[in-house]
Amino acid sequence: MGYVHGGLVVARALKEAGVSHLFTLCGGHIQNIYDGCVEVGIRVVDTRHEQSAAHAADGWAKVTGQPGVCAVTAGPGVTDAVTGVANAHRAGIPMICIGGQGPRLFADMGSLQDMNHVELMRPITKWSVSVPEARRLGEYLQSAFRVATSGVPGPVFLEMPLDLLMDHVDEDDVVTYPKYRTAARPAGDPEYLDAAAELLRKAERPMLICGAQLRWAKNGPQSVARFLDALPMPTFFNSLARGALPRSHPCVFTQVRKKALAEADVVLVFGTPLDFRLGYGREGMPFAPGAKVIQVDLDHAEIGRNRPIEVGIVGDTGLVLDGLTERLEG
């Protein structure tokens, strides 16, 4: 079919993934990516600082619900992006950060702005890796999108050496796969959904707390609304879940969460960790003595962290709410 340069391979993979904007600060190590983006119709947004590019990608994901993408040059470009990537990691935001690197031929020889980006980014990403071959640039990007959007979302760092982006490869040799990721979401173990529904039927003063994972849930706002129609209770949203329902909704409260926690006999903690915002789940302050907790999270490791729980469900917040609604209405 002909030969294409690595930057165009990257741009085509981004376009196939639905990317319309690339946030960056122009740098020589990644120049070929810009050329590719112009060719395929991706808008290159040139910021004044790489930190802004990383935060813009993070913000893009929060607003659109689609992974944000930034590209930064080697060395200081990558280090400047660290705070934005770390923020996406802590907040569970799907984001791809592409970092330039010097040519592999001169690795560890003191090439311009050469440093170990992969290890720098490893603690603050779901996956940090250097692409080994130009023909696999698209394949690695597909993997990056799959990792960034699976389970609890988060950022991925892909290092792309300059020689890979400049290399010309036969289009027939470029490795990409159709249908490389799924939109399927875990709906929760039926046995545990049954147990949670039974606990709610017996509850006298239940309350619901929804966190950031509701933003990435399947039909999250609609699922919350249907659940509250079936079983009205005081409901609080934090982080990206804010705005899922209007403040005018009769079940939505904002300023009295501490008081509600002190009185609730069953607390539903959905898609948010039992961290400092919830007093680490401590009994007596802020949770009422003897309160029972139903915790739902996409990350199995979050279930039961910091306090005992009555029912723990690994699943998508929206789908678990739907499962509970069906049981409560049945």
The pLDDT score that the predictor gives to residue 1 is 65
* Strand duo 235-237 + 266-270: pairing: unpaired
Half-sphere exposure of 18 toward its Cβ, with a 13 Å CA cutoff?
10
Alpha helices in the chain (DSSP H): 6-16, 31-40, 50-64, 76-80, 82-91, 117-121, 137-149, 162-166, 190-202, 220-230, 257-263, 317-329
d(CA 147, CA 145): 5
**pLDDT average per 10 residues of sequence, the chain (330 residues):** 91 97 96 97 97 98 97 97 98 98 75 87 98 96 97 98 94 84 91 98 98 93 97 96 94 94 97 92 88 97 95 98 95
The pLDDT score that the predictor gives to residue 214 is 96
Within the chain, which residue ranges are assigned CATH 3.40.50.970? 3-173
Strand order across the 266-270 sheet: 235-237, 206-210, 266-270, 292-297, 311-314
190-329 in CATH: which number? 3.40.50.1220
Q: Which residues of 74-95 are buried (b: 16+ CB within 10 A; e: fewer)?
A: bbebbbbbbebbbbbbebbbbb
Specify whether the CB–CB gap between 6 and 137 falls below 8 A: yes
The pLDDT score that the predictor gives to residue 112 is 75
The pLDDT score that the predictor gives to residue 155 is 99
Pick the CATH number of 3-173 from 3.40.190.10, 3.40.50.1000, 3.40.50.970, 3.30.365.10: 3.40.50.970
Within the chain, which residue ranges are assigned CATH 3.40.50.1220? 190-329
